[in-house]
């Protein structure tokens, strides 16, 4: 519903998929311990679910996508949107494994090398960023969106929080993931390789939220998209709240801005504090607090910083957005006309594919 400012009208999404049973078996540990995450979250006790139920999670690979998932696709999907359905029946989540792998290989290492603060940060990203990225997606989709509850009598967030509902929902889910990335249980359960791995995700999240995502706007523009607002809000809030103690330090060297996380443990505490506040806002339907939080931390950016980031990206082998050319799935039939197989034909030219789609599927009448 993020493309509707009022949060009512949903997008159509379609994913043709096949399961990844090995990854699903491993990551099912997340949904199996949903109550642990809820009980140990920093959200107010009154906002916690006493009995988390109905949470399912699968890891899939994508064969083809349509609607709002193509050509630029999410890496995870969680349904339903309605909080009352989540509370009464639960929720379903999927991670798009081959999509995450492809995004990670599309110029990610070059961007890390450009924006990371020091060689140690580059090294920890090379070692742990892929595993942490997938863990973040799982915690965001499976635990984050499913966690917490509204106070009795409080209407749905699209009614109480209005235009800020989607931004804060994404922020809430991200903060659940960020807070629990550092939980020793993830290592104990075999979901992360070492207790230090989570630092790669903290580095990546702040780099993206405060710097790298600015490549997608023009100098002087405000941040408008909900996911971008969420990342900026979270990053700016923890930076500002931790500034006096030097939790995260912003440095400019040779005209380039860098972020140096100097206290990861304190940063985790700040993530937990912001999570508690956003959950309170959602549970109580506090529109004034929602507006203050988003407008203060998630909208305005320094136009000179935008120019800097765009200039640094102009020299990298990567683009502002990544998209996918869909494979062509051709049915194979037997003598009786029954489909016996599907032949996968690769198409590599995006423009030609769009023109073919227009010719073969542009059958809806045009409006005068």
- What is the band of 366 on the pLDDT scale with cuts at 50, 70, 90? low
- The domain limits of the chain are 13-324, 330-368
| Predicted confidence (pLDDT) per residue in 95-117, tens digit | 999 998 888 787 688 899 999 99
> 332 pairs with which residues across the strands?
341
Helix residue spans in the chain (DSSP H):
21-32, 34-39, 83-89, 97-105, 108-115, 119-138, 157-160, 165-181, 184-188, 198-210, 226-241, 264-284, 287-297, 303-313, 350-361
pLDDT of residue 365: 65
> 358 pairs with which residues across the strands?
none
Lowest mean pLDDT among 38-42, 53-57, 239-243, 259-263: 53-57
Lowest mean pLDDT among 86-90, 194-198, 335-339: 86-90
Question: What value does the mean pLDDT take over residues 350-358?
Answer: 92
pLDDT of residue 5: 78
CB neighbour class for 44 (10 Å; exposed up to 12, middle 13-18, buried from 19): middle
Tell me 47's DSSP state.
Answer: G
Q: Is the pLDDT of residue 124 over 90?
A: yes
- Three-state SS for 19? strand
Greatest mean pLDDT among 52-61, 207-216, 319-328: 207-216
- Tell the residue number behind the tokens 């994508």, with chain if given: 62
Q: Is the pLDDT of residue 271 over 80?
A: yes
pLDDT of residue 367: 58
Average pLDDT, the chain: 93
Q: What is the pTM of this model?
A: 0.87
pLDDT of residue 284: 98
For strands 91-96 and 328-333, give the pairing: unpaired
For strands 13-19 and 55-67, give the pairing: antiparallel
- What is the band of 8 on the pLDDT scale with cuts at 50, 70, 90? confident
> 330 pairs with which residues across the strands?
343
CB neighbour class for 169 (10 Å; exposed up to 12, middle 13-18, buried from 19): buried
């Amino acid at each position: 519903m993020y493309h509707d400012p009022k949060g009512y009208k949903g997008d159509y999404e379609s994913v043709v998929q096949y399961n990844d049973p090995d990854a699903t078996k491993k990551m099912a540990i997340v949904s199996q311990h949903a109550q642990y995450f809820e009980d140990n979250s920093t959200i107010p006790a009154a906002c916690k679910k006493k009995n988390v139920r109905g949470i399912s999670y699968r890891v899939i690979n994508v064969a083809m996508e349509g609607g709002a998932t193509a050509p630029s696709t999410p890496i995870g999907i969680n349904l339903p949107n309605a909080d009352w359905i989540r509370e009464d029946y639960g929720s379903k989540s999927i991670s798009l494994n081959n999509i995450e792998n492809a995004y990670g290989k599309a110029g990610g290492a070059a961007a890390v090398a450009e924006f990371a603060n020091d060689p140690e940060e580059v090294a920890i990203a090379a070692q742990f960023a892929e595993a942490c990225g997938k863990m973040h997606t799982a915690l965001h989709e499976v635990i984050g969106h499913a966690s917490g509850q509204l106070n009795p009598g409080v209407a749905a967030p699209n009614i109480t929080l209005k235009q800020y509902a989607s931004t804060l929902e994404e922020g809430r889910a991200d903060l659940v993931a960020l807070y629990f990335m550092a939980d020793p249980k993830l290592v104990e359960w075999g979901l992360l390789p070492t207790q230090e791995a989570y630092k790669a995700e903290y580095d990546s999240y702040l780099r993206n939220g405060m710097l790298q995502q600015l490549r997608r706007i023009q100098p002087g523009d405000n941040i408008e998209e909900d996911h971008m607002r969420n990342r900026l809000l979270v990053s700016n809030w923890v930076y500002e709240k931790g500034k006096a103690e030097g939790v995260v330090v912003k440095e400019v060297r040779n005209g380039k801005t860098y972020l140096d996380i100097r206290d990861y443990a304190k940063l985790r505490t700040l993530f937990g504090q912001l999570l508690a506040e956003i959950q309170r806002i959602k549970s109580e339907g506090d529109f004034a607090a929602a507006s203050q939080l988003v407008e203060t931390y998630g909208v305005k950016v320094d136009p000179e910083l935008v120019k800097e980031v765009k200039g640094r990206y102009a020299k990298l082998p990567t683009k502002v957005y990544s998209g996918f050319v869909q494979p062509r799935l051709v049915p194979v039939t037997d003598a009786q006309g029954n489909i016996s197989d599907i032949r996968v034909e690769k198409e590599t030219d995006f423009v030609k594919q769009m023109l073919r789609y227009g010719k073969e599927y542009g059958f809806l009448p045009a409006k005068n």
